[in-house]
Amino acid sequence: MTENFDKSVETKHKDNPDVRPQQVLLDDNYSTPAFPRDFKSCFNKDFLKNYHKGVMNYKYKDIPCLKSPIDLALYMMLIHKVKPKTIVEIGSFQGGSALFYADLADMYGISSRVITVDFRDVQSQSDSRVEFIRADALNLEDSELHEALKSCPKPWLIIEDSAHTFDVCYAVLEYFSDKLDKGEYLIMEDGIIEDQGGNHRYGGGPNKAIHEFFKAHPDVYHIDESLTDFFGYNATFNPNGYLVKN
């Protein structure tokens, strides 16, 4: 844990729905424009309602993980394919997903440095293979993660799974835009909140961040449709969210 972490970060994140009760940040009729392609998933609302309950109760080794089983399967395929030497998860929660990535890398015989990042010390697991760094996703440039990345072996796999607000998601896309090499992945998690009717609470959330970033910087990333559409069109909690650096 970072001892000199700036406590004012929690004030900066006062509008983060993961920190305090959700509030309306956009008109509730907001819908992300279909660029670079449609963000709608193939899931219907009745299915999502019940599926989401399971996701929110899902644990890995008795530690809350909160990952869609579809996306766990996609991560298994992706990590086996790209064999990342560094996995950075932004948004630790209680550490279940970071432990999953570490176990997966071990199972595949990949020597991966697994780093999980949060602006709160919220993990409930301790594993020597998982390094916790306390940092603010809105300002990674001035964080211990920024320093740690200088010695992190390539290739990298970056997973943004923190506040889900537009500002945070866009900041992460921007921060890694000049740090990833061609073919490395950045996964933008949980754009499915739009299909669940909650997008307005996050200022447009991950989907709006992807849309706006692609409008401003169309040549930085592309969508790996072989993953987003593996089980059906955007059959994932991360619609259009499996991004590859060009």
| CB distance 169 to 160 below 8 Å | yes
Q: What is the pLDDT of residues 14-31, one digit of tens each?
A: 555 454 334 445 555 678
Locate the domains of the chain by residue range: 35-245
Q: How far apart are CA 46 and CA 50, in angstroms?
A: 7
CATH number, domain 35-245: 3.40.50.150
Mean predicted lDDT score pLDDT of the chain: 88
**pLDDT, position 201:** 82
Q: What is the pLDDT of residues 219-240, one digit of tens each?
A: 999 999 999 999 999 999 999 9
Q: What is the pLDDT of residues 133-163, one digit of tens each?
A: 999 999 999 999 999 999 999 999 999 999 8
Query: pLDDT class for 45, splitting at 50, 70, 90?
Result: confident
Q: What angle do CA 214, 220, 226 make, to 5 degrees?
A: 80
Contacts of 8 (CB under 8 A, 6+ apart): none
Estimate the crossing angle of helix 69-82 against helix 96-107, to 10 degrees.
40
